[in-house]
Every structure is written in C-alpha cells, then in structure tokens.
Structure 1
Amino acid sequence: MDALFDNLVDSHCHLDAPEFDADRAEVIARARAAGVTTQVIPAIRAADWPALAQLCAGDSGLLPAYGLHPLFLAEHRPEHLEQLRARLRQGDAVGVGECGLDYFVDGLEPELQRLFFRGQLDIAREFDLPLIVHARRAVEEVIHSLRAAGGLRGVVHSYSGSIEQAEQLWKMGFFIGIGGPLSYSRAHRLRRLVTQMPLEFLLLESDAPDQPLAEQRGQRNEPASVAAVLDVVAALRAEPREQIAAAIRDNARQLFGRRAKPLFPQPLR
C-alpha cells in the first residue's frame, strides 16, 4: 500500500465505547491494516473522561478530546464545565467535544443544551483548542453561536446541513466532517457538497460504532471504514485517491496538531 495511506486519520471515533470492549485491540489493528493510523476520540460525558485518558495514554495513535455531548444532557451538571477545564489542564487533549446541539431527539431541553454548548465554546477559546461539534437539526443555530462567540476553530462532524451553511462554517475556520452516510446513493445533498467544496476544509470520520457504510448497514462500524469513505470521495470528485488522502492528512494535522506531539505517524519508507 502506498505510504500516504499510512497517514489516514479518523477525525471522529468512539473507540472507548462499550461496543469495543471485547475486541478493541483487533479493531485498532484492522484500522491500521487499512491505513487508518490515527483516531481522534471525543468524549461524551464527564464520567468517561478518566477511562478515555487511560486508553489514549497507552497508544500514541489514539488522541483524546473531552466534552459534554447534548444527547447525554441528563447526566451533565454545571460543575462539569469547571471539571472540563481541570481535565484540559492535563495537556493530553487535542480538542473540546463532542459538544453541540441536538434538536432531533425529543426531551432535550434546548436552553440547557445551549448552556453547556456555550460553556464549552468559552473553554475551547480559553485553551485554544479546536471544537468537535455535533449539530443535528441545529446547524443554523450552531453557526450563529460560533459566530457570536468568535475566535474559534474546529469541525462540525457528521455534517447534515446545506452547501450554503457549510460555506459559512469554513469561512469561520471550521472543517466539515464526513463519514459513512456519504456511501448511501440517496445522500444526494451530501454528495453534492463533497463534490463541490474546497478539499482543504474536508475531514473524514467513522463515528464508530455508529454510522456504518451502506453495505454494512445494521452492523457495528469500525474506524477502518474511513478508507472506504476516502474511496467514495475520490470517485465523486474524480480526483486521485492519493491526492485526497494527503490533503485529508494535512487538514487533520492542521486542526488537531497543536497539543499532542507527535500526532501522526510518519509514512513508512
């Protein structure tokens, strides 16, 4: 395999999830065999931060981010924001998140979601770390929140908004995270976006164990799937796979490369 592909980065992967407890080492090995050498692992609740830190401390290819996911709103407490600051002072994080807004799931009180999201925006700016943002049926409000906060950078993962909204995001310094949903033939808007957008704002992700490829629908997703997502991007854009892989690697290094060194293994020669 071309050495470039040893540097594919899964920019969003929940390898700390219990779905991987039985075979995590094998999952990581399969990813690396596919050329996906690095995973960014965003936390979803404060209770998970210590175990995530321990997992990533044992493997230089696993990069932690710490945050409070809107889907776990019932478990978050205001004091967790100060605890997040304390966690980030440990110096191992490459980002803040997964954080954001979710107006798809019923019962998640919007104003409480905003409290935790805005708190994490402040923390990301304070620590000069990128945000890893969840935005489901909330892309427009997320854009307004990021613009109002100012001075931020990051990625909106599993992007589901319009091309026009994506352009607003990358003009603010945010990348667009794309994964398994791109492999579905009915994902017309997402495919148009990937075809038309500037490559320098694109990141690839698995969101494993969720969002599997179309041919693996209903199965557990793995970070190795990022290699297949790359194939779809190359086909849609009619551009060389190697060229896209190099750009994605550089995008990931640009966003996540400020805190943990060395972040990405060098190509095998």
Structure 2
Amino acid sequence: MVAIGEIGLDYKYTDIWDKQLMIFDRMLNLAENLDLPVIIHSRGTTAHIVEMFPSYNLSRVLLQWFSRPISALAKVVEQGYFITEGAPTAYSKGIREVVKRIPLTSLLTETDGPVRYCKGPFKGKRTTPAFISTIVKAISEIKSMNIEEVAAQITRNFEEFFKVKLNQVE
C-alpha cells in the first residue's frame, strides 16, 4: 500500500454530511497511523478540508483536481501539499489560472474518470492515460517552460509524493 485515497468530502451529498465527516476522519487517522500519504477528493469542500488538516499529522497530502477556491491555493503551497490537474488544463480558464499560480514543484497530472469531456481538445472523448501528454504540453505553455522540463519535474513530484523511484530511460 502506497497511499490512502481517493478520500474526502463532497458537498453534492449533503444528506450524508455527518457520515462523510466520520469516515473521512477515520481515513485520515489511518493514514496518520500508517504514515501514508492521502489523495483527497474535495468537490466544493477544499477550503473546509484544508482547514481540517492541521488537526492531523499527515506526511503527504495531494488535492485531486484542484479548482477552487483560489484563495486556498496559498495555504496548500505553504503546507507543502501537492495538487493534480487533468484534461481541463488544456481549455479551462479557471484551471489554467490555478496552474499559473501553483509552483511546478507542487503539481502532478491526472486523467481521472472515466469522464467524457464536452469541451476542448478532448470533446466527445473518455479519459485515457494518453491525455497526459496534452496536459503536460498545456502546463508547459502556461508556465512558459520547455515540455521536457515540465515532464521531468512532474515525474520528480510523483517520486517525492509516493516515495518511489521510477526507472527512466535517458
């Protein structure tokens, strides 16, 4: 086992809010006890979740598909957390703004899903790992960096977060 997740809170399901909080607390305690990183789902709850984290001794935190509030991004960076961004990086103004503001050393990529996109270069397509190259290209454009540099840093971020070493062909 290398991580606990995807766990979190989702305001879409307010009718089971208390149950979500209870289970989320148990999962965070498990991650704390096992010294494992957590991968967090936080649709509509990011600010709330980020405020909760100081109550736990979590070794590594990744906020999956971070979008808002942008005001929480400073705290995410300050605490040394990572975020992921996916396909919307190629077309969403909001996500592109997040990518612009987050240090590359705090960013990972993802495809999530399965999701069928209705916008951008992925319109009508379901997510696949093949999307990653387009996502990395979009990040490199937003950051005005070489695509190879971006890919290398994201790989280092992955290795740091999961405490693994990938075999890379040079």
Q: What TM-score results when the alignment is normalised by the length of structure 2?
A: 0.91
Q: Match for 2:169: what amino acid?
A: L
RMSD of the TM alignment (CA)? 1.8
Q: Which runs of 5+ in 2 are unaligned?
A: none
Asked if 1:109 corresponds to 2:16, the answer is yes
Q: Match for 1:175: what amino acid?
A: F
Instruction: Name 1:140's counterpart in structure 2.
Output: 47
Runs of 4+ aligned residues of structure 1 deviating over 4 Å after TM superposition are none
Instruction: Name 1:234's counterpart in structure 2.
Output: 140
- 1:244 aligned to which of 131, 134, 150: 150
In the aligned structure 2, how far is the partner of 1:211 from the partner of 1:200?
29
- 2:2 aligned to which of 66, 79, 94: 94
Deviation track 1:198-245 (CA, whole Å, cap 9, x = no partner) reads 111001111132264722233221011111100000111111111111
Does structure 2 conserve the Cα–Cα contact (< 8 Å) formed by 1:180 and 1:206? yes
Of 237-246 and 211-220, the range deviating more from structure 2 = 211-220
Greater length-normalized contact order (CA 8 Å, ≥ 6 residues apart) = 1
Deviation track 1:110-163 (CA, whole Å, cap 9, x = no partner) reads 111000111111011111111010000101111112122233422100111133
Q: Secondary structure at the match of 1:99?
A: strand
Does structure 2 conserve the Cα–Cα contact (< 8 Å) formed by 1:152 and 1:173? no
Q: Which runs of 5+ in 1 are unaligned?
A: 1-92
In the aligned structure 1, how far is the partner of 2:162 from the partner of 2:63?
14
Deviation track 1:2-49 (CA, whole Å, cap 9, x = no partner) reads xxxxxxxxxxxxxxxxxxxxxxxxxxxxxxxxxxxxxxxxxxxxxxxx
Count of residues in Structure 1 that have an aligned counterpart in Structure 2 = 169
Instruction: Name 1:175's counterpart in structure 2.
Output: 82
Where do 1:70-89 residues align within 5 Å? none
In the aligned structure 1, how far is the partner of 2:13 from the partner of 2:25?
21
Asked if 1:166 corresponds to 2:73, the answer is yes
Deviation track 1:156-178 (CA, whole Å, cap 9, x = no partner) reads 00111133312212222310110
Where do 1:199-214 residues align within 5 Å? 199-210=104-115, 212=117, 214=120
Assess, with a 3 A threshold, how the Cα gap between structure 1 residues 238 and 217 changes in structure 2: closer, same or farther.
same
Q: Match for 1:268: what amino acid?
A: V
Q: What TM-score results when the alignment is normalised by the length of structure 1?
A: 0.59
| Larger proportion of helix | 2
In the aligned structure 1, how far is the partner of 2:112 from the partner of 2:82?
16
- 1:155 aligned to which of 40, 62, 70: 62
Q: Between Structure 1 and Structure 2, whose CA radius of gyration is higher? A: 1
